[in-house]
Chain A
Amino acid sequence: MDLLRFITAGSVDDGKSTLIGRLLYDSKNILIDQLEALEKSTKNRTDGSVDLALLTDGLRAEREQGITIDVAYRYFTTPKRKFIIADAPGHVQYTRNMITGASNANLIIILVDARQGVVEQTRRHSIIASLLKIKHVVVAINKMDLVEYSQDVYNNIVIDYADVAQQLGLKDVTYIPISALNGDNIVDKSETITWYDGKPLLEFLEAVEIDNDINLTDPRFQVQLVIRPQTEELHDYRGYAGQVTSGIYKVGDKVTVLPAGIETTISTLEVGGKSVDEVFAPQSVTIQLADDIDISRGDSIVKSDNQPQVSNELEVILCWMDDKPLIPGNKYYLQHGSRLVRSVVKQVEYKLDVNSLQQQPVEGNVKLNEVVKAVIKTASPVVFDSYGKLSENGNAVLIDETSNSTVAAVLIQ
């Protein structure tokens, strides 16, 4: 059985929580005591129905205000697949929270209200999906019950969205007409939407091919820590522990340690303390090398014939996530995987309008939820690939040196 991680996006009233509630409810992933608690908290409702949205709002303040504040993670399993849902809020703080939830997602479900069609928010979420290179997009056209299950309404939205997808270069897009409230095309095929011949949402989620999402062609590995037991029997053991970012490594491979640029070969590979001949992404492994080289946390071990870029100067897209604005010229820590370096945001070139993708001039500082193109200079070199080519080795964060907060998502260009 494999694992699919997805995120749901949509405006506040598009029915995200209801959709998740419906997925869990209809696939029998809600247990009796959770349902009883739900019934108890909705018993005052006049229509007698259970509010499935309450399943997902876990915090006191969320229930009080009826809004989702932060990303929550939900889990459910069907006989075919295990699922992790990042349930991100749809309101004002969209960019920050959506990026938090989306950074690990294989797939995004973008909810569209059938009555509204493609709106600013749809465009915005799609732009974020394209920025983050989420591989699969599902456009769930919701509230079909409120437009009399009209095929025309559905078709028009598909035509409108296809335009957006084309502009953004979203390749794998699937459209499903649903009613989260009534359960049409969520787990079971709708009996009302007879004109739709595709799969209901869950069936699609169970079948979507994700095996190829992992890059197995460009081997990248970063050292998290050096394991040196220094016991009598393991006197000379020096293992470089880390998670394979991408690609495959084999014993005997010629490798180069970056940024130093020293060449050696892999002498042993271990997974969980057991010796193996080869390892691949995303395994957590330990590598031993033939030569004694000074290697520490943050260094990369790559195949000599397939090397990433090494530079002190990075062109990046920054998604600013902090209430405190970005002041160009300020210093921040850049954390690229396990490599932590001091850096300075040298210049901000332009701001990306997340509604239109237009480039706009930046006046003054960069504020919360703004997305900008910038140049970062680092105190020591970073070993990276562009996010577009190999997102796993092209992502990083900025950390405020004084508050220690994570203040920006970094997509290296």
Chain B
Amino acid sequence: MSQYHLNYLEQLEAESIQIFREVAAQFEKPALLFSGGKDSIVMVHLAKKAFAPGKIPFPLVHIDTGHNFPEALEFRDWLASQVGATLVVRKVEDTIKQRSLTEPKGKFPSRNWLQTYTLLDTIEEFAFDACIGGARRDEEKARAKERIFSVRDEFGQWNPKLQRPELWNIYNGRIHKGENVRVFPISNWTELDIWNYIRSEKIDLPSIYFAHDREVIEHEGQLVAMSEHVQTTAEDKIITKRVRYRTVGDMTCTAAVESTASNLDEVIEEIIATRISERGETRIDDKVTEAAMEDRKKNGYF
């Protein structure tokens, strides 16, 4: 093997950085959608590398559902100030009031779906023409079909039957006024790639990714954290378990996994050994119908 050889993580990194630079070069007002989860943290790290020694030339935008883990929010603020990026936060709560939207009901009232409204309002407010998201194609079968530059109409809608051919490493970001492009620089990364990269680059993460004691209730085999947003009934038994999170979404629709993994090596060991996919194990909202993600994306979800 020659000395001029990149391992797979270095190849993925080079590809992602190329995509970040295309966004900065091709668009007037891009934004990096940032949730405080591991994928968006890796994206911030990649963006830092892409534009070094300059600063990341676009703001970090968080669509806050109001159901976030406090640890993730704290980390979000810390990271934004650390990289010197502008942080824009828009709250689903405010959209619900302004637009008199109906809050979902039920035991775990997920606001995940309502995020789309706030996101589209935010895109309009700032006239963002590109929104960089941390979606990966390995997450879900509808995502496996999406291009890296995904053109959305003025309603944010994705049309899977009308995607632009995407050839070599050429990305066509030309759009009409009102349209925007969702860009997915880490499309080709898998969950394990993300963790291995975090380990090799020594990237900091919020504490909830590592084993800790938490009060949870068990619901259909999944462990849901106790919070003010969960409607408990008399039958629910609140128990304390040693858990960690594989993904960080809303407290209402993200399940914890039982774990004793307290550092990156141990987390990676567990992920290699698991026989259940990331979304299957932890996302309650994907299970509504077989096409839940596809349907959400067609309506403007990222």
Q: Which residues of A contact B (CB under 8 A)?
A: 1-3, 31-34, 37, 41, 56-61, 63, 69-75, 77, 82, 84, 96-97, 99-100, 103-104, 211, 214, 216, 224-225, 227-229, 234, 237, 239, 241-243, 248, 270, 272-273, 280-284, 286, 297, 321, 333, 335, 337-338, 392, 395-397, 399, 404-406, 409
Contact = CB atoms under 8 A, between A and B. Distances in A.
Given A234-B53, A397-B167, 13 more contacts: A32-B275, A70-B160, A73-B144, A82-B193, A96-B165, A100-B167, A211-B2, A225-B24, A280-B4, A282-B6, A404-B175, A406-B167, A406-B172
Contacts of A63: 290
Contacts of A237: 53
A56 B13 CA distance: 26
Nearest to B175: A404
A282 B14 contact: yes
Contacts of A37: 290
Nearest to A245: B169
Interface stretch (B114-122, B134-142, B228-236, B255-263): B134-142
A59 B160 contact: yes
B240 interface: no
Given A100-B165, A273-B53, A33 B281 contact: yes
B142 A75 contact: no
Interface of B: 1-2, 4-8, 10-15, 17-18, 21-22, 24-25, 48-55, 137-138, 140-142, 144-145, 160-161, 163-170, 172, 174-176, 187-188, 190, 192-193, 274-277, 280-281, 290-291, 294-295
A239 B50 CA distance: 11
A63 B138 CA distance: 19
A98 B62 CA distance: 37
11 contacts: A31-B276, A32-B275, A33-B281, A58-B145, A72-B144, A74-B144, A104-B169, A241-B50, A272-B49, A404-B174, A409-B167
A31 B280 contact: yes
Contacts of B281: 33
A404 B172 contact: yes
Contacts of B138: 74-75
A333 B170 CA distance: 13
Contacts of A272: 13, 17, 49, 52
A348 to B, nearest CB: 20
B18 A224 contact: yes
A229 B53 CA distance: 7
A335 B7 contact: no
The list of the 8 closest CB pairs from A to B, nearest first, reads: A273-B52, A58-B141, A33-B280, A272-B49, A284-B17, A229-B54, A3-B8, A404-B174
Given A58-B141, A227-B54, A406-B167, A75 B188 contact: yes
Nearest to A336: B170
A99 B290 contact: no
Given A69-B161, A282-B11, A404-B175, A99 B25 contact: no
B53 A242 contact: no
A225 B25 CA distance: 6
A335 B169 CA distance: 11
A214 to B, nearest CB: 8
Contacts of B49: 272-273
A72 B138 CA distance: 10
B274 A31 contact: yes
Contacts of B187: 73
Contacts of B8: 1-3, 82
A392 B275 CA distance: 39
Contacts of B175: 404
B157 to A, nearest CB: 15
Contacts of A103: 167-168
A84 B7 CA distance: 14
B170 A396 contact: yes
Nearest to B140: A58
B170 A337 contact: yes
Contacts of A396: 170
A282 B187 CA distance: 18
B234 to A, nearest CB: 30
Given A59-B160, A74-B144, A225-B21, A333 B174 contact: yes
Nearest to A28: B275
Contact of A72 (B5, B145, B169, B280): B145
Contacts of A281: 4
Contacts of A72: 137, 141, 144-145
A44 B291 CA distance: 19
B276 A211 contact: no
Given A33-B277, A33-B280, A72-B144, A406 B14 contact: no
A264 B52 CA distance: 23
B168 A321 contact: no
A406 B164 contact: yes
Contact of A69 (B52, B160, B274): B160
B50 A70 contact: no
A104 B12 CA distance: 13
B145 A284 contact: no
Contacts of B53: 227, 229, 234, 237, 239, 273
